[in-house]
Structure 1
């Protein structure tokens, strides 16, 4: 089972938070606030924060900007993971992924089932990697953001988490580009 190895030092990740919404503003972005509170409370660094409309090209463009920024290790987006016509965040994420972390969606569904039952089928939360950056598309609800962070991401972004975590493999995400 997973555990925290106290003999290892904590390594803070630099995490950007992107809210995808046609209606949210910085004054009422509860899901973005939830993620910022969680990640900074855990000792990570808020690298950037923004709000973009539910527009696939705009979302993908912002993701690409942050992927290209060496000061960003992780992008967490919130919103646009549902089933309606304006929910295009998952498609935008997949437009930029080099590799999808397929198990993230599965594990998120398992966590959600414990909290909201079969309503979990309505979320298309996903994760992937591009340009040495982790990217996760989370639901637009504060509860969904809390569940993803508290039950999955807080552990995977903790270098002390055993038997393995995302932090320890971060330097190797682009090793294929260094080979000659």
Structure 2
């Protein structure tokens, strides 16, 4: 069963937070603020924060910039994962993924089902990896951000979490690029 190994030291990761919204500002971005509070309370570093409108090319461009930035290990976006025509965050994420973390959306749905029942089917939360950077797209509600952090990311971004976690494999995410 999952546990924390007390013999391992905590390893902070550098996380960028992107809010995708046509109407939010940093002053009223409750979902982005939930993520910032959760990650900093856990001991991680807020590497950057931005708000962009629901425009696929701009979202993908910001993701690519953070992927290229060695000061960013993880990107978490919030918003734009629904079913409406303006919800393009998932498509933007998939434009940059090298590998999708297929089970992330499944586990997020499982966590959400316990809170909101079958309404969880309306989310297209996703996760992936590109350029050695983890990328996660979460729904735009503060509750969904809390659920994703508390139910998945808090453990997977903690090096002490056993039997495995995302942090311990970070050095190997781009090993295919280093092979000669």
TM-score by length of 1: 1.00
Superposition deviation, residue 112 in structure 1: 0.4
Please give the alpha-carbon distance, in whole angstroms, between the structure 1 residues aligned to 2:88 and 2:98.
18
1:69-148 paired onto structure 2 within 5 Å? 69-148=69-148
Superposition deviation, residue 15 in structure 1: 0.1
Superposition deviation, residue 134 in structure 1: 0.1
Which residue matches 1:60?
Answer: 60
Please give the alpha-carbon distance, in whole angstroms, between the structure 1 residues aligned to 2:152 and 2:30.
20
Please give the alpha-carbon distance, in whole angstroms, between the structure 2 residues aligned to 1:71 and 1:37.
19
Superposition deviation, residue 175 in structure 1: 0.5
Which residue matches 1:166?
Answer: 166
Q: What is the number of equivalent residue pairs in this alignment?
A: 180
Please give the alpha-carbon distance, in whole angstroms, between the structure 2 residues aligned to 1:179 and 1:67.
20
TM-score by length of 2: 1.00
Which residue matches 1:34?
Answer: 34
Aligned to 1:27, what secondary structure does the other structure show?
helix
Superposition deviation, residue 59 in structure 1: 0.2
Query: 5+ residue gaps in structure 1?
Result: none
Superposition deviation, residue 105 in structure 1: 0.2
Superposition deviation, residue 38 in structure 1: 0.1
The CA RMSD over aligned residues, in Å, is 0.3
Which residue matches 1:178?
Answer: 178
Aligned to 1:136, what secondary structure does the other structure show?
strand
Aligned to 2:26, what secondary structure does the other structure show?
coil
